[in-house]
Amino acid sequence: MLGKPEWFTRRKWGGWGLCPATKEGWVYLAVFVAVIFATQFMFTDEKSRMLALGVVAAVLILDTVDIMFRMKKDERETLHEALAERNALWVIITVLAVGIGYQTAVSIAQTGTATIDPVIIIAIVAGLIAKAATNYYLDKKD
């Protein structure tokens, strides 16, 4: 779309996403920051500002995903990324499971009924669907 994969590297140590690796990558990032600032000065009402910010953020997120898909990785890098993401996912699932247990215990102790944040359940169900869809696709493909 807008950015080129060769301008960035995959973020390995500090989260997910991309990190600028070349001058062009930093310029790309600076342009987005400038556009965000410009939209905040361009519009006077809060609603328009938020809308503009949302549009720019959506374009940035979509472009980042597009760049990540187009980024070339060799088989060793792909394996390392898959293992790192798997480990991260297992930690996230463990924390969510502990969270469900904690919320259940606290809510029962306080009100006598179990109350769980639905976002946690939605996250786990969404993960299950993504896993099943990936396995289905890979089983059909290979």
Partner 1 sequence: MKTKIAEYRKRLGITQEALAAKVEVTRQTIISLEQGRYNPSLLLAYRITKALKQHTIEDVFLMD
Q: Which positions touch partner 1 (CB under 8 A)?
A: 72, 74-77
- Least CB distance from residue 68 to partner 1, whole Å? 17
The maximal CA–CA distance of the chain, rounded, in angstroms, is 59
Which amino acid belongs to residue 122? I
Contact between residue 34 and residue 26 where contact means Cβ atoms under 8 Å apart: no
Residue with smaller CB distance to partner 1, 47 or 72: 72
Compute the least distance from the CB of residue 12 to partner 1, in Å.
12
Least distance between partner 1 and beta carbon 142 (Å): 13
Helix (H) / strand (E) element for 10: namely: strand 8-10
Alpha carbon of 80 to those of 73, 76, 92, 94: distances in Å? 10, 6, 18, 21
Residue number with CB closer to partner 1 (76 or 141):
76
Nearer to partner 1, 4 or 80 (CB): 80
